[in-house]
Amino acid sequence: MNAAAEDFAQALVDLARDTLKDLQQRGVEDRRITLDSTLDHDLGLDSLARVELFTRIERRFGVRLPESLLGNAGTLRDIASALSGAPSAVQTAPRARPEAARVKGEAAAPPAHIATLDRLLAWRREQQPDFPQITIHGEGADEPITYEQLWREARRIAGGLQRRGVRLGDAVALMLPTGRDYFRTFFGVLLAGAAPVPLYPPTRMSQIEEHVRRHAGILKNADTTLLVTTAEMRSVAAVLRAHASSLRRIVSSRELCASEAAPIEVALNPGSTALLQYTSGSTGQPKGVVLSHGNVLANLSALGAAVQLRSDDVFVSWLPLYHDMGLIGAWLGTLYFGLPLVIMSPLSFLTRPVRWLEAIHRYRGTLSAAPNFAYELCLKRVTDEELIGVDLSSWRIAMNGAEPVMPDTLLRFRDRFAKYGFRSSALTPVYGLAECSVGLTVPPMQREPLIDSIERERFMQDGVAASAGPQAVNPLRFASCGFPIAGHHVRIVDDSGRELGERREGRLEFRGPSTTRGYFNNAEATRKLFRDGWLDSGDRAYIAHGELYPTGRIKDIIIRAGRHIYPEELEASIGAIDGIRRGCVAVFGSLDAASGTERVIVLAETRAAEAAQRDVLRQAVVDSVVKLIGEPPDEVVLAPPHTVLKTSSGKIRRAASRAVYESGRSLSTHQPSTAAQVLHLTFCAAGASLQRCARRLTELMYGTYLWALFAILVGLAFLLLLPPLGQAAAWSICHHAARLFVRLAGVSFRVEGLEHVRPTIARLLVANHASYLDGVVLLAALRDPCRFVAKRELKRIPVVGLLLRRLNSVFVERFDARVSAQDAQHLAEIAQAGASCILFPEGTFTRAPGLMPFHLGAFAAAVHAGLTLAPIAIRGTRALLQDEQRLPRRAPIVVEIGPTLVAAADVDAFSAAVKLRDEARRWILARCGEPDLLGGVHA
């Protein structure tokens, strides 16, 4: 080697060593590093650390390395070889002139009869055959794919699959990189009547063993008969075939297309399986989420409404297509609404994050999504020089999901990229999971991220998310992920399944049309997934003002750069190392603010005391982890016996071990004996259990007391109303009974704006409807007689019907349009006779918070009768007694009565009714404390 080559090699080695120092790896000074040092085993670099090293190399030597090198390089020598052929200077990426904007308007959803994904593609192809729905953005020329091309090529693949024995209901695995083959094969599988099973392709040869082990488990579980892959991956696929007995054939997309066999038409329905989305597999028991066509389409429809998609939207994505956010959220979502998708390889983003931002600039991207770590990567790896000429002003929705959202990342991303046109209102933390297709909650659009600061100690001890004051020291902060999408509901429950109240942390459960029916070929896991019709998300969260704040995972799954890592198998493998105490290993994740993702920490007990022996053990632990997951742990802590915390039954307490680690307390000193730890933990658990029991008992007693009080007062009013009385006397009895109920219930009750209703003036009173107690609350609030407008079904309920009849209520039909129109006419006649009426224009209510659309009938009656109208905003009754909630909970109630509204005189009757309705609804929405569920359509 000549002097220049030696200097170059030494510079590369020194750069690698400096990188390891900055990554705070131990023993770097004494480690021997050469060009033949492997990036995985010798240097201990995971995916994100590789990105850091590559970025430094490019800046140090003034070169651009090929994307593929990030995954393929095994040693420093591989990088040196690539450097010898790389360009000599960094070239700033060309800034393409933004394309002409598309026509702005509401995004067009498919008609209601399109109920499956195959029919969706067929319909889009009929409507716009030449529309380039997908643009594959790579290092070379962009590759567009039109609806016609996708349909035609998918049909050829479907025929090829059927010719090779694929039948209706079969599972077909896809191990393909982002590209044309993936898109056409996915729909080819659907057109053949089968269910796609997305697998992620191996990116490095060092990960082959981990890939084979994981994917073999998936293939076995899914009873997969055929695997579609590339020619380059056939060797890996062949090994898979040896480990998965059900796998009979391995083919490439090109081979399937070459057969040119016409597909046999199959009949799919909304309940047919659209895909199996595997959420794990590294534990040896992979779980495949069964998603039907109906699930996926329902989720896409609701998500599109939640983010207010427009016809001029452009989605830019680098997300992998084996992940639900990339597959369903980005691709199928844009296909559903007929929007263009610009997609690049995940490696393209990881090797040079600025490419993501450049693509948004070039294509005037309005939508994009990524896990939290991606935003951190942009903050750390993208330089101002690279951003010269980049304009991010078109980016209106930047979704952050798939892993915990860090408030600090949101704020720093906002501040850093504001000068490049990025708007803070674009930042959109979202929550979703494969079991709900992809998305579950979304915040209001065009709103800056809502970050909740809460008292740390109270939250950690009692699970109460109490708001922290501005002077609070070291508060916990969580980002709101918004409200449930249309048709979906969430709730927070304790471990026994009892629903918790506002700002109480617990298990997050949900239900809705996007919900999976379970895990494929896994009855036991499916049974544990559901409780009383609700699906357990596996996450913890709390709700404040109707918005969801996820706080962490119930199970100890580690999410690292969007990838799930499970500790059990790592613990077992590490425990088998000679010198490590078997059964005394804890593996857990620890959030790292610097990288925006989780670090993998290994805590292992050993009796070894000599430094050299401990170094050997530490390296053995790293090798074991790399062998299983393809990446090294971030830190290995070797501790003396009795350090790892366990339950009284011997189970590893990973969360408790993580808490000790994150507190900064030493994990290398002698810990109390197992018996002492068990005694201490039992004592603490007993204390917490007693507190929970006391709280539950208090709430049970209060709820029981309130129902008993309600029953007594209703019974008393019922007896007093048995004799024939006038409406004024009946109202007075009910009013005082309701006031007494509110007073004895011990809740804060406030009425504002009573001056806006006078007994001498007949008018319509319209109120929002959130609880069964709304009528009682209005009785308590209003002193002067009014007539309730109630649904006709209530008339037949014995006690309730009598009370309503004594109050001279008006009963109306909800379901028969003809009768309902007659009722509106009747209501107008009653009002003209001088009686004030109370009604709920929403018609009904649901357990989910939100103001629903208002029916027009009452407002038409007001216009017809020439009446004034007073809006009433009720706040707090949903928290007091939510739909499907058995026991009431203490909550403050406010009733605010608005000023008189008068119908417009300069328009026709129908237009006047619409304007009156909209004005009343706007007033109530601003004061009821609930989100707007209008969605742009009035009932």
Question: Who's near 539: CB < 8 A, 6+ residues apart?
Answer: 433, 507, 508, 550, 551, 552, 553, 554
- What band does 563 get if pLDDT is binned at 50, 70 and 90? low
DSSP state of 196: E
- What band does 237 get if pLDDT is binned at 50, 70 and 90? confident
Q: Rounded to an integer, what distance in angstroms lies between the CA atom of residue 282 and that of residue 863?
A: 66
When computed from its CA atoms, the radius of gyration of the chain, rounded to whole angstroms, is 32
Contact call for residues 239 and 212 (beta carbons, < 8 A): yes
Q: Rounded to an integer, what distance in angstroms lies between the CA atom of residue 889 and that of residue 502?
A: 10
What is the reported pLDDT for 96? 46
Is the pLDDT at 886 greater than 90, yes or no?
Answer: no
- What does residue 671 show for φ and ψ, rounded to 5 degrees? -105, 165
When mean pLDDT is compared across 87-101, 233-247, 707-721, 878-892, the lowest value belongs to 87-101
Q: Which two tokens stand for residue 903?
A: 């119908």
When mean pLDDT is compared across 267-276, 389-398, 421-430, 621-630, the lowest value belongs to 621-630
Q: Rounded to an integer, what distance in angstroms lies between the CA atom of residue 331 and that of residue 319?
A: 10
Q: Rounded to an integer, what distance in angstroms lies between the CA atom of residue 387 and that of residue 422?
A: 12
What is the reported pLDDT for 650? 53
The β-bridge relationship of strands 893-897 and 787-791 is unpaired
Q: In a 10 Å sphere around its CB, with 0-12 CB exposed, 13-18 middle and 19+ buried, how is residue 723 labelled?
A: exposed
- What band does 62 get if pLDDT is binned at 50, 70 and 90? confident
Mean of pLDDT values over 433-441: 95
Is the pLDDT at 611 greater than 70, yes or no?
Answer: yes
Contact call for residues 390 and 420 (beta carbons, < 8 A): yes
Higher pLDDT, 819 or 707: 707
What is the reported pLDDT for 821? 52
Residues 446-491: tens digit of each pLDDT: 899 999 999 877 877 788 999 998 888 778 889 999 999 999 999 9
Contact call for residues 124 and 133 (beta carbons, < 8 A): yes
- What band does 103 get if pLDDT is binned at 50, 70 and 90? low
Question: Who's near 329: CB < 8 A, 6+ residues apart?
Answer: 303, 319, 369, 399, 432, 438, 439
Buried b (16+ CB within 10 A) or exposed e, 902-938: ebeeeeeeeebbbbbbebbbebbbebbbbbebbeeee
Q: Give the ranges where 833-871 is alpha helix by DSSP (H).
A: 857-865
- What band does 41 get if pLDDT is binned at 50, 70 and 90? low
What is the reported pLDDT for 648? 38
Higher pLDDT, 415 or 210: 415
Residues 201-212: tens digit of each pLDDT: 876 554 565 567
When mean pLDDT is compared over 510-519, 561-570, 838-847, the highest value belongs to 510-519
Residues 280-331: tens digit of each pLDDT: 543 346 789 999 999 999 999 999 999 999 999 999 999 999 989 999 999 9
Residues 700-724: tens digit of each pLDDT: 899 899 999 989 998 888 888 888 8
* 3 state SS of 629: helix
CA 774 to chain centre: 32
What is the reported pLDDT for 203? 60
What is the reported pLDDT for 180? 95
Nearest to 202 by CA among 157, 236, 241, 249: 236
H/E element holding 531? strand 530-531
- What band does 19 get if pLDDT is binned at 50, 70 and 90? confident
**Long-range contacts made by residues 537-541, C-beta under 8 angstroms, separation at least 24?**
537/433, 537/435, 537/436, 537/440, 537/507, 537/508, 537/509, 537/510, 538/433, 539/433, 539/507, 539/508, 540/505, 540/506, 540/507, 540/508, 541/492, 541/505, 541/506, 541/508
Mean of pLDDT values over 908-930: 89
Higher pLDDT, 666 or 854: 854
What is the reported pLDDT for 856? 82
What is the reported pLDDT for 68? 67
Residues 859-879: tens digit of each pLDDT: 888 888 788 889 999 999 988
**Amino acid letter, residue 191:** L
Strand partners, 211: none
Contact call for residues 678 and 650 (beta carbons, < 8 A): no
Mean of pLDDT values over 23-35: 68
- C-alpha torsion 146→152→157→161, nearest 10: 140
Is the pLDDT at 128 greater than 90, yes or no?
Answer: yes
Contact call for residues 89 and 61 (beta carbons, < 8 A): no
C-alpha distances in angstroms, 697 versus 690, 691, 692?
A: 10, 10, 8
Strand partners, 491: 509
Mean of pLDDT values over 673-689: 50
What is the reported pLDDT for 391? 96
- What band does 92 get if pLDDT is binned at 50, 70 and 90? very low
For the chain, what is the mean pLDDT? Answer: 84
Mean of pLDDT values over 366-379: 93
- What band does 552 get if pLDDT is binned at 50, 70 and 90? confident
Q: Rounded to an integer, what distance in angstroms lies between the CA atom of residue 329 and that of residue 33?
A: 43
Is the pLDDT at 557 greater than 70, yes or no?
Answer: no
When mean pLDDT is compared over 104-118, 637-651, 753-767, the highest value belongs to 104-118
Nearest to 71 by CA among 82, 62, 61: 82
Is the pLDDT at 911 greater than 60, yes or no?
Answer: yes
Nearest to 206 by CA among 374, 24, 22, 44: 44
- What band does 934 get if pLDDT is binned at 50, 70 and 90? low
Contact call for residues 917 and 923 (beta carbons, < 8 A): no
Q: Rounded to an integer, what distance in angstroms lies between the CA atom of residue 883 and that of residue 659?
A: 38
Is the pLDDT at 171 greater than 90, yes or no?
Answer: yes
Q: Rounded to an integer, what distance in angstroms lies between the CA atom of residue 563 and that of residue 558?
A: 8
Q: How many residues comprise the chain?
A: 939
Mean of pLDDT values over 788-795: 80
What is the reported pLDDT for 97? 41
Mean of pLDDT values over 219-241: 84
Q: Rounded to an integer, what distance in angstroms lies between the CA atom of residue 206 and that of residue 72?
A: 9
Q: In a 10 Å sphere around its CB, with 0-12 CB exposed, 13-18 middle and 19+ buried, how is residue 293 labelled?
A: buried
Q: Rounded to an integer, what distance in angstroms lies between the CA atom of residue 265 and that of residue 190?
A: 11
